[in-house]
Amino acid sequence: MNMLTSLVLVFLLVAVVPPVHAQSSHTAPDAALDAAVQEHVASREADREAILRLLARPDVQALAGEAGIDLRRAERGVATLDGSSLTEIAAQAQQAEQALAGGQSRVTISTTLIIIVLLIIILIIVAVD
């Protein structure tokens, strides 16, 4: 009987101790969670700023005017972007801004196409929401 009690006790210790230890070791500290959330928010804001910075350029405004695209609506739509669409559009905006950097006086066809597509995507996303 003593042997059976010892065996049951050892079995319970082996069965209970690892799960309890595993639960406590996978808990992230609140500071780490807060930092991750702040990093995510800062990343989203940086993406929005990149898009708005491109839309604020005089050459982009002129191009949008020639194409008949309402930039005010597109700028308002940037606030509604989120997730992968925000990330993709921000990457395109940064690519277009880099192409326009360096004092180029003439917008190339590929950059123009990127800007127009970017504006149309923003307006479509806004219209769907």
- What was the pLDDT predicted at 70? 85
**Residue 48: predicted pLDDT:** 92
Per-residue pLDDT of the chain (129 residues; tens, 9 = 90+): 566 676 666 666 666 665 544 555 556 788 888 888 889 889 999 999 998 998 898 888 888 888 888 888 888 888 888 888 888 888 888 888 887 776 554 556 667 777 777 888 887 777 776
Distance CA 38, CA 42 (A): 6
Domain-wise residue ranges, the chain: 35-128
At 103 the pLDDT is 56
SS3 70: coil
What integer pLDDT is reported at residue 109 of this predicted model?
A: 61
Query: Whole-angstrom Cα distance, residue 43 to residue 91?
Result: 12
* pTM for this prediction: 0.62
